[in-house]
Chains A and B, each alone.
Chain A
Amino acid sequence: MTRNTLFRLGDWGIYALFIVIVLGLPLMMDDVFWLNRIAKYLVYGMLGIAIALSWGYAGILNLGQGLFFGLGAYMVAMSLKLQSYTSMQQGSDRPVPDFMLWNAEPGAPTELCCIVKGSWLWLPFQAQWFGMVMAIAVPVIVALILSSAIFRLRVSGVYVAIITLALVLLVRLLIIDAQPVTNGFNGLTDLGWLTVAGIEFDPYMVSTYYIVAVSTCAVLLLTRWLVSTRAGLILQSTRDDPNRARYLGYDVAAYQVFFFTVSAGIAGFAGMLYVIAAEFASPSFLDITFSISMVVWAAVGGRSSLIGAAIGAILINTIEATASETEMFQEAWKLIIGVIFVLVVLYMPRGLAGLAQDLAGRIADARVGGKQRARTGAPAE
């Protein structure tokens, strides 16, 4: 058995193990509150995957991934808000969000079309499928437009990070400012449950966990397939040397736009699932802190490993939740994560995945007796 075959087996082994654990968790854990929490962290894991895809494989650091997460979240939250109990209490036979009523001018009609300025935008969201479609479509369209502008103009490196960061802040302010239709700082709360074919998905039900868990595994496998294709290889080549790729005949911007948009679509999808599990959407999804946190998770897990980034996100958040049981420890944990993060960047730039690879490399070397010591290509998983 060659070293490379060993590596590939180990790699698939980790994927299989991850999927088995994620899907089998409800059998081992009957605490629904924890299950709901884990579902949220799986969503974060999905965000880690999205970051690894754009940062690790495409070399594009998106510091505004929260924009796509937030857009996805708001789209589906609008639909679920209209299905909530509080939206039906308005004395109208059709739902109107409670906060609109509080914001409405005295004497304004209690109809969704015209209760406050711009509230007609909510009309199509009365259909739940519309919100769910928009949760993917809106982030994808925004990402398509944004990335086309960025990459056609050949903006690169840190400037991409700054543009994405400025944009997420801009949209955050717009959401806050459009208080009558978005409920501003408070975000959308008191949401209804996802209802598919007459079945209501209570966030604290095992079936809701499974929606998130299956989605996470699917996204993981899908992205893994994407980066294994020729397109994925070409993408990595554009990261290493965009000019070389151009002189080989590839339209570099097209590859960057495609993968940036896929990454944004995943983030939007994650936003949608988060709302289903957490029952709120808030402008804090578009805070810089959140967007940078995603990058932190991916960096700790391994910036150029999809599964590493996912595990990094899940692990950090699970530990944080455990630590947050006492307030004192919560503050101390923040201190610890800050220190860990500095150390990871300084001494472990390939993150946990890099550590695992080195370890696996040593075992493989011992197995094949030091033959075939050639380095394998990065980023192997």
Chain B
Amino acid sequence: MTETLFIGLSLSSILLLIALGLSITYGAMGVINMAHGELVMIGAYTAVLSGIYLNLNFFLALPLAFAVSALVGMALERLVIRRLYGRIIDTLLATWGVAIVLQQLIRLEFGLSFFGIHVEGLGPGLQSMDVPSFLTQPFEIGGVPIQPYRSFIIVVTLLLTLLTWFLMYRTSMGTQVRAIMRNPQIAAACGIDVRRVSAFTFAYGSGLAGVAGVLLAGFKTVMPDMGASTVVDGFLVVVVGGVGSLLGTVLASGLLGQINGVFAILFNDILARAVVFGVVIAIILWRPRGLFSFRSR
């Protein structure tokens, strides 16, 4: 029982980790960023490359990946998304193109492979990242086996969620972001620099994706299309939770993660995911605005 719960919890925390950034970029800014998965992937590659070239350890890779993904996200906002605010479907399509471009840039080693140059750590192949050994040795507390790496992910996710909550609800920047969420025109009329705040918000959401990438790299192989499959899950979590609701995102990832965990034990992984999709469809049909959305008339 506790083990099932723990599996569900760790699935939930990974979902939440990916959805957290999306709940900000989609929830706050109405941007369906299909390249979010690629920002996750860039975070993972940052960890791999910083290990190879800078000899940085895993923990130092976390802030570095945040910074790198945030910068990429900021560039993405400035070059593409800024022109598409209010055209939500177009943001989806354009960022889909961006996602392909980012994947190909890594796969083609920024184009260097055309010249026969190979950059170690890049390219189409699989990469892996070293995790400090104390995070990989399972230990027991009172007879219950604990997976240290999974626990670590849960703790980091928890901290990031709290940080995000604090930024959104306890700082003036957060108030501005929430004002933009509700009504960008009025927010602008109130003297909020919508462009600047949007750029920072997008960068922050992207940075969270980068951190997620490092954590994923600890138990998944790193490859150019590793992020593509995560983005859909992230979206489903955000939509089910209710766009713009941080609490909703947290609870939805908990719900979907647990459903996934329970059905994976009852049947198998494939059917468990199918059940999750079924639940998502039912919830959206039942409450299109998600489980926890603010009401607007």
Contacts and interface: CB of A to CB of B under 8 A. Distances in A.
Nearest to A179: B270
A335 B96 contact: no
Nearest to B290: A159
Contact of A334 (B92, B100, B274): B100
Contacts, number: 109
Please indicate which of the listed interface residues A334, A339, A345 has the most CB atoms of chain B within 10 Å of its own CB: A345
A370 interface: no
Interface in B145-202: none
A341 B104 contact: no
B143 interface: no
A341 B285 contact: no
Q: Which residue, B80, B90, B284, has most C-beta atoms of chain A within 10 A? A: B284
A381 to B, nearest CB: 21
A342 B98 contact: yes
A342 B80 contact: yes
Interface in B66-116: 80, 83-84, 88-90, 92-94, 96-101, 103-105, 107-108, 113-114
B56 interface: no
Contacts of B89: 61, 157-158, 161
Given A158-B88, A159-B239, A338 B277 contact: no
Contacts of B80: 342, 346
B270 A177 contact: yes
Nearest to B228: A289
A345 B90 contact: yes
A345 B101 CA distance: 15
Question: Helix, strand, loop or mixed for chain A's interface?
Answer: helix
A167 interface: yes
A331 B107 CA distance: 8
Given A176-B270, A331-B108, A167 B281 contact: yes
A296 B228 CA distance: 16
Most buried by A among B232, B239, B288: B288
A106 B84 CA distance: 60
The 4 tightest CB contacts between A and B, nearest first, are A338-B100, A341-B97, A170-B277, A338-B101
24 contacts: A149-B285, A155-B285, A161-B92, A163-B281, A163-B285, A165-B232, A170-B278, A173-B273, A173-B274, A173-B277, A177-B271, A296-B96, A296-B97, A299-B93, A328-B113, A328-B114, A335-B100, A338-B97, A340-B97, A341-B94, A342-B97, A345-B90, A345-B97, A346-B84
